[in-house]
A and B are shown apart, each in its own frame.
Chain A
Amino acid sequence: MYKAIIIGGSAGSFQVVARILNALNSDFPVPVLLILHRLKHVRSGFVEALSIKSSIPVREPDDKDYIRPGFAWLAPSNYHLFVELGNRFALSTEPQVNHSRPSIDLSFFSAAKAYRQDLAGIILSGANRDGAGGLKMVGDMGGTTIVQDPNECQVPVMPLESMKITKVQHVYNTEQIIRFFKKIQGNAQI
């Protein structure tokens, strides 16, 4: 059983994330961390847009909030999002990494260290290399590595960059990613 699933995405990922969240049962048993590149000065609107589609509540965590299952946790704009010991979120205003804040790499690094083999990392469509190093760390720590099939991506750079430096375990299209989530749901009910 995973302790968390972390998803990184940028250009072209919104619809995929929306479809995944829409397909979940309302009692999905694992926290879903969403690290999506977004406009830094637009603090509202994103949660609301995802919430319309999602079957589970979507929240932007405040610093030190507990990472609870049953929610999709969206990294707030203009902050990096870390997983802190004690299963809490930590925010940071460190400089941008890969021109991004939130940086997918930084979130994946900290989640990989915290959850190790109990983490699944998923890289979706996007236009830069942010997330590639992070997904490698997930794999190095024993977690499960997944990328969206580049042939399906609106912008395939992020999955392709991930595949360059990591022997990714699963290359899935959106339907297969949804089935991965469903399997977790099913296992939890057994």
Chain B
Amino acid sequence: MAKLILGVTDVRKITAALAESGYPDFSGYSLVSLTRRLEVAAGNCGITDPGTLISKISSDNLFRGAFVDQLLVETTELFRDPSIWRLLRDNVIPEIFRKSNKAGFWLPGCTSADDLVSLILLLQDDDLLERSSISVTSICEERLKSISSGRFGNHKLKVSEDNYKKVTGKTSLSGYLDNDAGKLYWKKDLMSLAGYFLENSHLAAPPEPVSCVIFRDKMIYFNLTLCNRVLEVIYSNLQTGGYLVTGSGETLTHTLYGKSFIRADQNENVFRKIG
């Protein structure tokens, strides 16, 4: 089957069709990544020309939801970059709770439960769950349902357990997982510890200002304009002195918010909001 190759104009038309159908505007996404995601998702659906894709997006609700879900890139594993999670456990989280009895955590633009469960396990180990409120927001309703259901890709188990050991010294995640006909799900009581909210636009703010925003490997899919818009929302919903955690390849250098945060660590991308 011929592979769909999209040009810039095709991508613009497709994002316009999605926006007209009520989905958030993907035109602020990194063109090279979005083009590839569109090509892969269309290929998975057996679509080989842009016209058919646009027509399906415009006319088929079921297709549209599933298609948008495929455009979002999942976090690759639990505790991705173990060193940053060790920093959170050893320095950032203790510092947050030294200042306040209760703390809010927000995971915007969420695409999988990986970072959420990583955070929950750290808080649980330190007996801090009852003092924490966790908000998860996502652009896509289907994806939000999948996250809150606790669905966990079986292929991630080994690398996630390797990371888990590097962070906590413990070896098995099986006590936190249920196996339903070969599919793995995080236990319901674990997933019920967070609140889940749909983002109508970039981004939906959490119910109240938070102490820590975990926003890892999301801005890599945005262009600078969208990064700045998103960072504006994050900045205004993060307490002064609160922490922003980004992916190891994401800095704030090129954004308008580079001077609104200071590095909390020399090696890891953990930033602290300054007043």
User: How far, in whole Å, are A110 and B76 apart by their CA atoms in the complex?
Assistant: 21
Which of chain B's residues has its CB closest to A76's CB? B249
Residues of B within 8 Å of A92, CB to CB, are: 33, 36, 73, 220-221
Residue B251 is within 8 A (CB to CB) of chain A in the complex: yes
Q: Does B259 contact A (CB under 8 A)?
A: no
Instruction: Tell me the minimal C-beta distance from A43 to chain B in angstroms.
Output: 7
Contact with A along B58-100 (1 / 0, CB 8 A): 0000000000000001111000111100000000000000000
Rounded to whole angstroms, the CA-CA distance of A134 and B48 in the bound complex is 20
Residues of A within 8 A of B253 (CB): 62
How many angstroms from the CA of A65 to the CA of B251 in the assembled complex?
10
Q: Measured between alpha carbons, how far is A94 from B33 in the docked complex, in Å?
A: 9
Interface size on B, residues (CB 8 A): 30
- Choose among A76, A78, A90, A101 the residue that contacts B33 (Cβ–Cβ < 8 A): A90
The answer to whether B146 has its CB under 8 Å from any CB of chain A is no
Q: Which residues of B contact A94 (CB under 8 A)?
A: 33, 36-37, 73
Contact indicator per residue, chain B 219-257, by CB within 8 Å of chain A (1) or not (0): 111001001000000000000000000011111011000
Main secondary structure of the interface of A (DSSP, over half): loop
**CB of A164 closer than 8 Å to a CB of B:** no
Q: Which residue of A lies closest to B221 (CB)?
A: A92
Pick the residue among B76, B166, B251 that contacts A62 (CB under 8 A). Answer: B251
Q: In the complex, what residue of chain B is closest to A96 when comparing beta carbons?
A: B76
Q: By the criterion CB–CB under 8 Å, are B249 and A83 in contact? A: no
Residue in B36, B73, B250 whose Cβ sees the most chain A Cβ within 10 Å:
B36
8 Å CB interface, A125-172 against B: none
Residue B181 is within 8 A (CB to CB) of chain A in the complex = no
List A contacts of B224 (CB < 8 A). 64
Known contacts A92-B220, A93-B217, A85 near B32 by CB under 8 Å: yes
A74 proximal to B (CB < 8 A): no
Contact A78 B250 (CB under 8 A): no
Number of residues from A at the complex interface, CB < 8 A: 26
Closest Cβ neighbor of B246 among chain A residues: A63
Task: Assess whether B30 is in contact with A62, with CB atoms less than 8 Å apart.
Answer: no
CB of A28 within 8 Å of the partner chain: no
Cα A92 to Cα B247 in complex, Å, equals 11
Contact of A93 among B73, B83, B162, B251 (CB under 8 A): B73
Q: What residues on B are CB-neighbors of A64 within 8 Å?
A: 224, 227, 254
A107 shortest CB reach to chain B, Å: 10
Chain B residues near A61 (CB-CB < 8 A): 249
Contact of B82 among A41, A62, A82 (CB under 8 A): A41
Which of B219, B249, B250 has the most CB atoms of chain A within a 10 A radius of its CB?
B249
Q: What residues make up the interface of B, taking CB atoms closer than 8 Å to A? A: 8, 30-33, 36-37, 73-76, 80-83, 162, 166, 217, 219-221, 224, 227, 247-251, 253-254
User: 9 tightest CB-CB pairs across the interface, nearest first?
Assistant: A91-B249, A82-B32, A63-B220, A91-B220, A64-B254, A84-B32, A62-B251, A93-B217, A90-B30
Interface residues of A, Cβ cutoff 8 Å to B: 41, 43, 61-65, 76, 78-79, 82-85, 90-95, 101, 106, 109-110, 113-114
